[in-house]
Chains A and B, each alone.
Chain A
């Protein structure tokens, strides 16, 4: 069965798919978005239930291999020290992300020139800056202007409270003379556009029932659907179809909610399935013209996978830190060690993120994203009584450098419920990252002591958080050279001129910040380029 052709077909209703749909609205083209998941209904947000914490370990786990919902696809992470996490549904991973919203820095786009590592991006900070600003307005970003860590900009809303915990750590940073700043967050500090301001529930990972968090289910999609963009849910794309004569994409084959295989034709196809889902789809789209997967003449589809490896250090203070009050991941951010310093034994750098603590169950089970319960027995009593309420932590978020051996490929055996081959992750921690994490762990400990901690708790080994694969980048990177990249400087595949990619897979480097702000800025930029180049789009 074939549906009516559309002008623009977007695959994925998450951060980037929503942003580019919004950008293309003014063209009056007929836009259709196919999304493998569904809308999350208000009653389904776990934070409205008494047993809300339980959801983290079942149907609302960030890990699709735990959730195992119909719309999820399994991921083989046996050859990786980090497993990807996500959400499949309208809003994508902005449903369960934590809303931390730092921008990448100017140096992130020039690592080859500045530090001799990775590649330079074909775009720079100044080019993206207006799109960062536009997206901040559309999303409702809260923050404090005047951060000396960036070229000047002003978040549209005042900062959310940093709380007692943030104030305590800020004084520690000041004592050491280190950079810190209240975190930019995609979380409302004031009511806006019918969305309720943050109520400091502290369960951002369970979806924000108030709409305070800037998931695209609350920001872009209501506008898009009202404007006539068709959002077809429970529709899982199997492959991108390419005309073997012309080399242009003609549309996709997808499964509907009943598993029936359908065809959707389109003039222009936009892939927005994240750094794992996008290479999976391209690799699954084999044809005579593209035997190794569509748009993969460079052989780089799926290669150069980057995460942000994380480790955490906690301090135990004399007074309660009330860390469960307020958005989970976002209090203050230090970028003191972000840029390359030749005196260190690694290049590039990391951020020190002051998240808040979490709820008792999650803490007892080892912390968010960790499966390593704290001790039982008398030791348990001691930790829950004397550590948990008094704790403030720092997360070391390190920049990952691209390596071709870190990759997404297709698993030979594993499939999703429609029989589509699942992704397999092959990933190891690079030596540079390992050194960076060790440095970060030591510096975080130093800071916590300066802030008044009476005890510092750190793992002191080389392990990283298992469920730290939120940020999936680099697997279809941008570039000017078709032999060294998958898409050009504005997201168009070198090999298929009406096929665009707009998600984190097109990142060239990872920076050391949460990527969603940059993903959406890039999607808006690509939308702008499409509009600007519309007359010669496929030349």
Chain B
């Protein structure tokens, strides 16, 4: 496969690994940045090198028209590939999740800030003394809760 064919096939595979949709209107993983990230994230992986390339070749052999199949048909192909190449497929899934969720634009869609967590972090108000007193009152009322020795 040429580089552009490989890239096109990878994008279609990624679209099914993390599909778009849901109430949060999440994008699929089938975006160039994620595809690039999958390859970059290989450096962070202890998995077997070449897993993605091997899988793409296997998909291409199994289903030459994979990119133009319906989403359901693509998922069926991928399930067969997963059964035939479980270790490589798990590696692809790991790399996809790694690349997708490291995108700063994805995190806010799940309620997590896009920014690096330091120095800003998150504002969490401390409980008031009154609330803490109310919550712990039943525990304190039961008395000593450790074994005397």
Contact = CB atoms under 8 A, between A and B. Distances in A.
Answer whether A and B are interacting partners: yes
A382 B45 CA distance: 26
A178 to B, nearest CB: 9
Interface of A: 45, 47-54, 57-58, 66, 105-107, 109-110, 113-114, 124-125, 144, 146, 148-151, 158-163, 167, 170-171, 173-174, 177, 179-182, 189, 196, 198-203, 209-210, 320, 322, 324-326, 335-336, 338-340, 359-361, 364-365, 373, 376-378, 380-382, 384-385, 388-389
20 contacts: A54-B102, A109-B149, A148-B140, A159-B126, A179-B142, A180-B139, A181-B139, A189-B126, A196-B119, A198-B121, A209-B118, A210-B119, A335-B146, A373-B93, A378-B19, A378-B75, A381-B21, A381-B26, A382-B22, A385-B23
Given A200-B124, A360-B107, A385-B23, A324 B132 contact: no
Interface in B92-149: 93-94, 96-98, 101-102, 104, 106-107, 110-112, 114-127, 131-132, 135-136, 138-140, 142-149
Contacts, number: 184
B101 A360 contact: yes
Given A51-B102, A146-B140, A361-B97, A199 B121 contact: yes
B138 A388 contact: no
Interface of B: 16-19, 21-24, 26, 41, 43-46, 75, 78, 90, 93-94, 96-98, 101-102, 104, 106-107, 110-112, 114-127, 131-132, 135-136, 138-140, 142-149
A54 B110 contact: no
Nearest to B125: A161
A202 B113 CA distance: 11
Interface of B is mostly: loop
A200 B132 contact: no
Contacts of B22: 381-382, 384-385
A352 to B, nearest CB: 13
A54 B132 contact: no
Contact of A105 (B17, B26, B96, B147): B147
A171 B139 CA distance: 11
B44 A381 contact: no
Contacts of A389: 110-111
A180 B132 CA distance: 12
A335 B121 contact: no
B146 to A, nearest CB: 5
B144 to A, nearest CB: 5
Contacts of B90: 373
B122 A325 contact: yes
Contacts of B26: 381, 384-385
A106 B96 contact: no
B118 A361 contact: no
B145 A335 contact: yes
A380 B28 CA distance: 11
B149 A324 contact: no
Given A148-B144, A181-B139, A360-B110, A201 B132 contact: no
Contacts of A196: 119
A385 B27 CA distance: 12
Contact of B18 (A52, A182, A336, A380): A380
A333 to B, nearest CB: 11
A357 to B, nearest CB: 10
Given A49-B116, A373-B93, A106 B138 contact: no
A54 B97 CA distance: 11
Given A161-B125, A180-B139, 14 more contacts: A53-B101, A54-B41, A57-B41, A148-B140, A148-B145, A151-B146, A177-B142, A182-B136, A200-B121, A200-B122, A202-B122, A361-B101, A376-B93, A382-B22
